[in-house]
Chains A and B, each alone.
Chain A
């Protein structure tokens, strides 16, 4: 993520530049001349969002003066491979567009070197979730083409498959796909091996974190009672204002949503004052980061299967946290999943934000107060000005289906049970 402070007097210009990248509100032109997203083969999602946080004043609830934060423009991209490679490509393909956009930001002049400027403003995520690591844009497209080809083939020859047993259908389709590949009409590249460097880093992290935890555990045990006492005190006494989202804000968000089966989610909020909340959030982000890297199963964030990617980013210091995700379905359904399936995972970080519904022991309560929670999240959502997705019309579940179809074809022969299950995917 790149975080660039906007020059206030240039905000209108910036907004209109970003608007010009869309065909309609909420629908980007993938080939727009400013940043032609469609040209990038390794780009899953991208967004430009002005982090116009209407809730900064909430600190007043605690009697604190409102802090002045710069108004940031954030650029986020979900990519395959190394960030460095992507940034180089970005600067190469869209130099003029990026210059036009960033010229509305502080510290950018006509002679600024684009690449060094971008690197300077990089703002790493504290934690990130990806639905299925290693599933590249290229594979997603190849697998979608495979599914399409099988679908058309079956549509044209449905009757000849009608009464065949599963293994026979599997064998016939495998032969069809092989023929399509030979004819150059289908490409199915193998799954690329994970780079060695990446794997080593992963193992080091996998072992390092528990080791570190073990080392500091005496200290943790010592402070645990004080921590828990103080946490419970705060959970019981923190102000819990119920502020309903303003209609204009709500409507602007709604107008920009549901143009595709997937939607962007950009939200940010201010942390409750005090060291305990900051330390809690820091600790929780470490846990989330560890879990998303090493524990979470592909395709499933807990029980939720509709999230393509998510990231947690501290915005310009440690006072505000941003949460950005790409999810399938409407906002109401997304929140429904959060409340009913993943409430604990949401409470554990969001409860450190001002105004969140009261939690118990960080995990319980909170989002279970449905109305309060829904208004809270809507108020903290910021309008995503530009949003790009490389594979419109495909949900995370679609991607999983297509991957399962492809994997099922990799076996030269397949058991009866597997064949039956594979057949249900078609």
Chain B
């Protein structure tokens, strides 16, 4: 007899947009439409009819998918009451482009929102409509989904195309290897202290209305029941209220233009014209080789929640590399996922724990400098754009045309401030990460001087009993070209938006 626990599913997948559960990897064609509402009634009618894909696993898998997300101005335009919008998080409501947020995220100078192609101040889109499909079905899917009413409903369209680089990102490194494993059925007891790095993350970190890594439910709009919201699910912690956030999440989108020529020419110069050495330096900056292999060895001890298919590239932590001699502290993947736990030592005795908590633990300079990662995970769902430019070509040919390439970065998280923004500000843009100084993320940093520190363009490769190698004057390789915070609603919430009066 089947174990009921095995078949029971906590989450109603039919209510969740599929992007939370799937990356739609088989659907190699994708386009993102950023639109403003032209006619509210027509937009609502279109939304009501839109065949939004849910997260139920289907056999055979679908060949197309449609996902829809909303900005705060978009909700307002659709007529959502201000009191309802106020229930969403501050970051979402204020948007990505306020002055202090730009400072926090490193969106200054060349990255400043004033120069963005889309999403700049006063130019926030209302909706993000995401089309995915297998190439042969894609165009007709987009046409049929838009239907006859699309142009009546929407205006100021910005269409962002994507390209399929076979799993690489434009710089030529394998991408999307590591993703958190969502604890869909809340099987894992959220620990008070997590003593091992785990790849399993609480459902509430990626879906509103469920317990997060603190064992609490993140704030979201709770509504008094009335005729307009009868279909919404009740809040699990306040059953008398309707939970507009439940089964929805926040979607962060940023267009990151990557200057592939500049990166590879820089590496090539640093390596005195040796492409293999240039690739090695690149690997130090990324923290993985171009093929995606980590610079620290794979461990034999399993890490819970690691996808069995990616063990050879994901079953590792930096515990055996405390000085960063294999993978530099500043390497992109070490900054963005330090793979640590809540404690600087594994399985300390109760007494040892107390000693550490009170500050009498190890005294090494680099010990215990990085926040516990489990509160700062994101689910990445981005796609590349632009044509492929291989490193070999990038260093050989002069820039022939103005073609641009990069990443439409997309991530999902339930708390933008604690997840995406923390990651971007405290880890990626921070010039003081983990005991380093004078350097931000080697790929994403904006190299802008900060008060008192004229130099932020270094990259340090710690030596093993030798002097570190410090690469200096890194140019800016990535420029932010657009961005916005969206809410990716549940299907029930989507229908509520479509009917909101």
Chain A residues at the B interface, C-beta cutoff of 8 Å = 27, 154-155, 158, 161-166, 169, 244, 247, 250-251, 254-255, 257-261, 295-297, 300-303, 305, 328-330, 332-333, 336-337, 339-341, 344, 368-371, 391-395, 397-398, 400-401, 404, 420-421, 423-426
Contact = CB atoms under 8 A, between A and B. Distances in A.
A340 B465 contact: no
B425 interface: yes
Given A332-B421, A332-B426, A424-B365, A397 B371 contact: no
Contacts of B462: 424
B359 A397 contact: no
Nearest to B421: A332
B466 A162 contact: yes
Contacts of B435: 397, 401
Interface in B317-376: 323, 342, 344, 356-361, 363-366, 368-369, 371-372, 375
A261 B432 contact: yes
Given A255-B100, A395-B432, A302 B357 contact: yes
Contact of B219 (A154, A259, A371): A371
Interface string B440-467: 0000000000111100000000110111
Contacts of A303: 344, 356-357, 359, 361, 368
28 contacts: A155-B472, A158-B469, A162-B466, A164-B467, A166-B466, A250-B90, A254-B100, A255-B99, A258-B100, A258-B104, A261-B452, A261-B453, A303-B344, A303-B357, A305-B369, A332-B421, A332-B426, A333-B422, A340-B342, A340-B372, A393-B451, A393-B453, A394-B452, A397-B432, A397-B435, A401-B435, A421-B364, A421-B365
SS class of chain B's interface: helix, strand, loop or mixed? loop
Contact of B375 (A247, A250, A261, A336): A336
Nearest to B371: A336
Nearest to B219: A371
Given A254-B98, A337-B371, A424-B323, 6 more contacts: A261-B432, A332-B422, A340-B371, A370-B212, A401-B365, A423-B466
A333 B371 contact: yes
B216 interface: yes
A296 B359 contact: yes
B468 A260 contact: no
A419 to B, nearest CB: 9
A329 B465 contact: no
A339 B198 CA distance: 20
B395 to A, nearest CB: 24
Nearest to B213: A370
B214 A426 contact: no
A165 B103 CA distance: 42
Contact of B218 (A164, A371, A404, A425): A371
Nearest to B430: A329
A344 B323 CA distance: 30
Nearest to A404: B365
B456 to A, nearest CB: 10
Given A261-B432, A394-B452, A369 B214 contact: yes
Contacts of B466: 162-166, 423
A348 to B, nearest CB: 13
Interface residues of B, number: 57
B281 to A, nearest CB: 15
B111 interface: no
Contact of B452 (A166, A251, A297, A392): A392
A336 B104 contact: no
B437 interface: yes
Contacts of A420: 465
Nearest to A372: B216
Contact of A398 (B98, B99, B417, B437): B437
Contacts of A336: 371, 375, 418, 422
Contacts of A27: 451
B57 to A, nearest CB: 32
A333 B104 CA distance: 12
Contacts of B453: 261, 393
A297 B359 contact: yes
A257 B375 CA distance: 23
A155 B432 contact: no
Nearest to A344: B357
Given A162-B466, A169-B467, A392-B452, A257 B357 contact: no
A283 B212 CA distance: 35
Contact of B216 (A162, A163, A332, A370): A370
Contact of B359 (A302, A339, A344, A371): A302
B375 A340 contact: yes
A162 B467 contact: yes
B470 interface: yes
Contacts of A398: 432, 437
Contact of B369 (A162, A254, A397): A397
Nearest to B418: A332
B451 A247 contact: no
B431 interface: yes
A154 B467 contact: yes
Contacts of B90: 247, 250
A397 B370 CA distance: 12
Contacts of A369: 214, 216
A155 B472 CA distance: 9
Interface in B179-219: 192, 212, 214, 216, 218-219
B213 to A, nearest CB: 9
Contacts of A164: 466-467
B248 to A, nearest CB: 17
A161 B466 CA distance: 9
Contacts of A328: 432
A251 B90 CA distance: 10
A261 B450 CA distance: 8
B418 to A, nearest CB: 7
A107 to B, nearest CB: 37
Contacts of A297: 359-360, 363
A154 to B, nearest CB: 7
A371 B42 CA distance: 38
Contacts of B192: 368
Nearest to B453: A393
Contacts of A400: 365
A307 to B, nearest CB: 11
A162 B461 CA distance: 13
Given A344-B357, A424-B365, A332 B417 contact: yes
A260 B214 contact: no
Contacts of B450: 260-261, 393
A158 B463 CA distance: 13
Nearest to A341: B357
Interface string B459-487: 00011011111101000000000000000
Nearest to A397: B435
Closest 9 CB pairs of A and B: A393-B452, A392-B452, A300-B359, A393-B453, A254-B100, A392-B451, A370-B214, A333-B426, A302-B359
Contacts of A332: 417-418, 421-422, 425-426
B463 A423 contact: yes
Contacts of B94: 247, 251
B358 A302 contact: yes
Nearest to A300: B359
A391 B453 CA distance: 10
A31 to B, nearest CB: 15
A407 to B, nearest CB: 12
Residue among A337, A368, A371 with the highest chain B CB neighbour number at 10 A: A371
Nearest to B438: A151
A171 to B, nearest CB: 13
Contacts of A341: 357
A258 B103 contact: yes
A357 to B, nearest CB: 10
Contact of A161 (B364, B371, B467, B472): B467
A301 B368 CA distance: 13
Contacts of B463: 423
A255 B101 CA distance: 9
A257 B100 contact: yes
